[in-house]
Amino acid sequence: MNNNTKILVTGGAGYIGSHCILKLLELGYNNIITIDNFSNSTKDSLQKIEEYTKKEIHNENLDLKDSKGVKEFFSSHTDITTIIHFAALKDPFESINNAQAYYENNVGGLINLLKYSSSIQLSNFIFSSTCALYGEPNKIPVDENHPINPQNPYANSKWICENILKDVAKERNFKAVSLRYFNPIGSNSKAGLKEYYSNRSKNIVPQIIRVIKGEVNALPVYGNDLPTKDGSGVRDFIHVEDLVEAHLRAMEFLNQEHSSLNYDVYNVGRGMGISVLKLINEFESQLDIQIPMNIVRKRKNEVAEIYADSSKINAKLNWRANKNLAQMVEDTLMANDIIY
């Protein structure tokens, strides 16, 4: 791929988007522009990338629901050929009571991106999807042919987006992939990038960090009576840098001359189930502490166990997750200035 090609990264200040921009810059892709309105992110991420790489990042503070703004954006940036779309609302449980907001943001934002990018020579589109659209799996590991059964508006919004992208890519003859993430954690500790959190953060790792730092008294653990080995939920945790690498492999694959597909989907996970209690234990082990926990009732539609069959992306894109749980936790602690 030509390193001068112009790449749009939406949600570039977010957790995964910022790590992706950093990796692109390190590989010599310097013609990058990002869209982020900082509703669920922080400018600190972009500042850390600029400090680390000594390269300036241009961000457009724009809400993708703003049709006029998105139209004007593409009128000003007609040379974009690749879109990597991270921007979205992403809390499955929050979405249950905020369905309209999730559909307006996630589906509406994608529609605006596709509608107004029709004025440019778009070649490739990489979409951030989720394993949540499988629901409670009827078999594990889960492959891409597993029945789709979204259990909340967040997951359903991603499924709707996948179908829209598939149809539009065929209609307009550009290439697109959806990457179905499992559970990214970890950080780029060298650059100081991390998963930023607030008092509203519901992801497990930010909540663990808040307890370790003494910002809250105990870590909520949602259920210890699930039908798993230790009673806690089992997930497929993957290092965010491995996840970013999957995007780069997808981008390179789409740019190959022999790549004739319009659309495809790939699971992105390690293919290994790790329980929530085992994750907590790894933090405790590395810090030689005990993390206080508060066992609470499992949440509605809580999936007991899910992990990926990633053989498709292994074979087609020559991608594999390389970093283990210990590395994920160590990088997280270092990026949060807890160990050095």
* Residues recognised as catalytic: 154
Nearest CA to 82 out of 31, 7, 25 is that of: 7
DSSP 142: B
Nearest CA to 35 out of 139, 102, 110 is that of: 110
CA 294/CA 210 separation, integer angstroms = 14
Query: Is the Cβ–Cβ distance between 291 and 208 less than 8 Å?
Result: yes
Block residue for tokens 């810090």:
287
Token digits of residue 266: 């790939």
Measured CA angle at 214 (ends 213, 217), to 5 deg: 135
Beta strands in the chain (DSSP E): 6-10, 32-35, 58-60, 80-85, 124-130, 175-181, 183-185, 219-222, 234-235, 237-239, 263-268, 274-275, 293-296
Measured in degrees and rounded to the nearest 5, phi and psi for residue 65 equal: -75, -15
Four-point Cα dihedral 66, 69, 73, 75, nearest 10: 120
Other beta carbons within 10 angstroms of residue 300's beta carbon come to 9
Token digits of residue 8: 């749009």
Other beta carbons within 10 angstroms of residue 315's beta carbon come to 9
